Structure 1
Amino acid sequence: MKKILVFLCALSIVSCKEEPKDYVTFSGKISNQKSDSLLVGTRTYSKTIKINPDGTFKDTLKINEPGVFAIYDGHASTPIFLRNGYELNMEVNAEDFDQSIKFSGRGSENNTFLAKHKILQEGLLDQDKFSGLNREELQNELKSVKTELSNFYNSDKSIDSILLAQANRNLEPMIGMYENYFLESIAIREQFPVGSPSPTFKDYENFAGGTTSLGDLKGKYVYIDVWATWCGPCIAEIPSIKKLEAQYKGRNLQFVSISIDDAMRSGGGDLEVAKNKWKTMVKEEELVGIHLFSDKNWESDFIRNYNIQAIPRFILIDPNGNIVDPNAPRPSSKKLVELFDSLSI
């Protein structure tokens, strides 16, 4: 009889054992929320999670394969690692996504690792610092970054092997991408030395009416922003440009934005449609400074002569029409204010 009871108890324990879940439970709270939904996705997967008015959310996601997904609240994004069976909770302040994010529950250790990795990587790959290096200095810095990231990846063996394998696999290509980016910046500075005459533009359509040429702005420093309405990183700099324009109002500095919106991206191949999108954004966003529309977008002489392959691109020209910086710091960078201060603007 005793043996039967022992067997029945054992059977009861086995039958009550929780079966692995074939889905992820994802919940949390977003303070200072920017939207009413959260998008979770990869190139092949997408799900929108509703955010309640108090910032809380909860939903289930069926994941075919464990891996890194992006979450996006309409203003900021961050990676998360998901595996079926996780019961993951996330708390974050939308005003400072990366620094405030905290995870708890099943799967939290892998996502805490991923959050720390993002902060570490962005800190090591400091664009402001790297943009001023020469070729040899760049190689040495990137070698050091690679070593530090590799050590971080392999410092905790409890982290999911899929996550670690992906991080290590992507390390070399990621370093190579940054190397190419900063080598291009170095090449730009070599091609356009400080003090050399700047390429010019002539009779670009001015949003305020009439046309404007670079020669019309002689006597002032000219900070040029080459952008387009479809360019996300360009749009992200708008608040900083507005802040700088207000800060330097009345000084010997003119902010100029040149749109290279083109017919191919207008939705119908019509240049007038592209031009109207430009005018609409300048008006609705109450953009500051002088706003110009280039004569032949990417094929404009000014764009080609400055070898602009990607946007946004920022250029600083002195009052005599000579180059100060052919690849100037972006508006959101503290390096730009330092540059202005060094010129006593």
Structure 2
Amino acid sequence: MKNITYLLLLSVFVSFAQKEKKSTLKFVAKIENRNSDTLKFMGKNNFSKIIVSDKKGDFTSEFGVEEGFYQLYDGKTYAKIYLKNGYDLVLNMDAKTGYESISYKGKGSMENNFLVHASIESKNYDYDTLLNSDEEVFNRLFDERRTELIANVNGQNLDKTFVENYSKDNEKSANGLKDYYMQSLEAKKMNGSASPDFNFENFKGGTTSLADLKGKYIYIDVWATWCGPCRAEIPFLKEVEEKYEGRNIAFVSLSIDRISDREKWSKFIIEKELGGIQLLAEADWKSKFVKDYKINGIPRFILIGPNGEIISADAPRPSSTGLVELFDGVLNK
């Protein structure tokens, strides 16, 4: 009788322990021409997970997550990925081709392959035309775009929770885009006026002010190390800096990271081999220069003329073909 009682208690204990065991997801990445020996997952609430490649060069791990969207970074390319406990994902990618070569297999692959295709479609969408339209045209195109995105996700046989989260994320992005457009309209009113001054800490030592750069065109990138869209512009910014090397233009990257994160900012500059003039604002979002330009979203790009006048308070991004057109227009006068 005692043995039976013991076995029953043991059975209950094992059953309880199994229920208490935390669920995880399995992840494998097979990357040709990989950019790094590590993969990094980043998510909300400062979530960070690093996977080191094995002897075969593959990345394999099993870990628990809060269901939702994450950023996957391979040392050069950022990719959006949806993670959920219970997924068994296998990622294949050729790093030479980049994000567009990503494909998934296994449980959770339908949702993540949808994300890949959606991101490629979004990359090819003409946002320049949308953002440079007058308000009436913008509102029409904006509504058409939002309707199209809703139809795309609802037209697939995807996990219900994924669809709900994707729709919420899209709505948040849409609202951010509209806010960005309205901010752009306000910024354009500053064009032609004298630029607010600045005098910020320089990564190479000392400080750099607007007056120090007088006589040059100044292209300012307002960014932060924690900003995904900002980091996505870095490769394009490097290409533009190389293209206009030796011309009468200074490239200034103004970080609004907190002063307490100075070391993180410095380390990022070194690791990513950032060029140009690297400055750190003295009070992040509350810095006078940032407030004077009414910046409430980043990245933000500004072009200032040789005499300190604002040519564009909301200049095209490095990834936009409109930037080269703008630079050639002013530099070849």
Specify the TM-score bucket, using the shorter chain as the normaliser. Answer: 0.7 to 0.9
Is 1:197 the counterpart of 2:199? The answer is no
SS of 2:294's equivalent? coil
Change (3 A) 1:328 1:25: same
Higher mean C-alpha displacement, 287-296 vs 104-113? 287-296
Is 1:319 the counterpart of 2:318? The answer is no
- Contact 1:69–1:82 (8 Å) recurs in 2: no
> For residues 283 and 44 of structure 2, what CA distance do their matches in structure 1 show?
33
2:219 alignment counterpart: 223
SS of 1:197's equivalent? coil
2:320 alignment counterpart: 333
Change (3 A) 1:245 1:25: closer
Is 1:77 the counterpart of 2:76? The answer is no
Is 1:108 the counterpart of 2:109? The answer is yes
Aligned residues: 307
Please, what TM-score do these two structures have when normalized by structure 1?
0.71
Change (3 A) 1:110 1:281: closer
Is 1:342 the counterpart of 2:329? The answer is yes
1:141 alignment counterpart: 141
> For residues 108 and 265 of structure 2, what CA distance do their matches in structure 1 show?
45
- Report 1:301-316 matches (<5 A): 301-316=288-303
- Report 1:265-276 matches (<5 A): 265-266=260-261, 274=262
- Contact 2:130–2:142 (8 Å) recurs in 1: no
SS of 2:291's equivalent? helix
Deviation digits for residues 201-245 of structure 1 (CA, Å, limit 9, x no counterpart): 3x5555666665424434332222334566565455444444333
> For residues 35 and 110 of structure 1, what CA distance do their matches in structure 2 show?
26
Residue 100 of structure 1 and its aligned partner are, at CA, apart by 0.6
Identity of aligned residues (%): 39
Cα RMSD of the aligned pairs, angstroms, is 3.7
SS of 1:249's equivalent? coil
Change (3 A) 1:299 1:28: closer
- Report 1:278-289 matches (<5 A): 287-289=274-276
- Report 1:60-209 matches (<5 A): 60=62, 67-70=67-70, 72-75=72-75, 76-80=78-82, 82=84, 84=86, 87-124=88-125, 126-156=126-156, 158-190=157-189, 192=190, 194-201=191-198, 204=200
> For residues 23 and 208 of structure 1, what CA distance do their matches in structure 2 show?
45
- Contact 1:34–1:74 (8 Å) recurs in 2: yes
- Contact 1:26–1:89 (8 Å) recurs in 2: yes
- Contact 1:81–1:163 (8 Å) recurs in 2: no
The letter for the 1-side match of 2:82 is I
Change (3 A) 1:342 1:105: same
- Contact 1:121–1:149 (8 Å) recurs in 2: no
Deviation digits for residues 297-331 of structure 1 (CA, Å, limit 9, x no counterpart): 55444333222334443211122322110011233
> For residues 299 and 177 of structure 2, what CA distance do their matches in structure 1 show?
17
Structure 2: which 5+ residue stretches go unaligned?
1-22
Deviation digits for residues 71-122 of structure 1 (CA, Å, limit 9, x no counterpart): 62444232135463x5543211234443111123454333322322232344
> For residues 108 and 258 of structure 1, what CA distance do their matches in structure 2 show?
39
The letter for the 2-side match of 1:326 is A
Residue 180 of structure 1 and its aligned partner are, at CA, apart by 1.6
Residue 147 of structure 1 and its aligned partner are, at CA, apart by 1.6
Higher mean C-alpha displacement, 234-243 vs 333-342? 234-243
1:54 alignment counterpart: 56
- Contact 1:72–1:78 (8 Å) recurs in 2: yes
Q: 2:239 aligns with which of 237, 243, 249?
A: 243
- Contact 2:220–2:252 (8 Å) recurs in 1: yes
1:7 alignment counterpart: none
1:32 alignment counterpart: 33
Change (3 A) 1:90 1:188: same
Structure 1: which 5+ residue stretches go unaligned?
1-21, 267-273
Change (3 A) 1:342 1:94: same
> For residues 175 and 40 of structure 1, what CA distance do their matches in structure 2 show?
24
- Contact 2:216–2:248 (8 Å) recurs in 1: yes
SS of 2:54's equivalent? coil
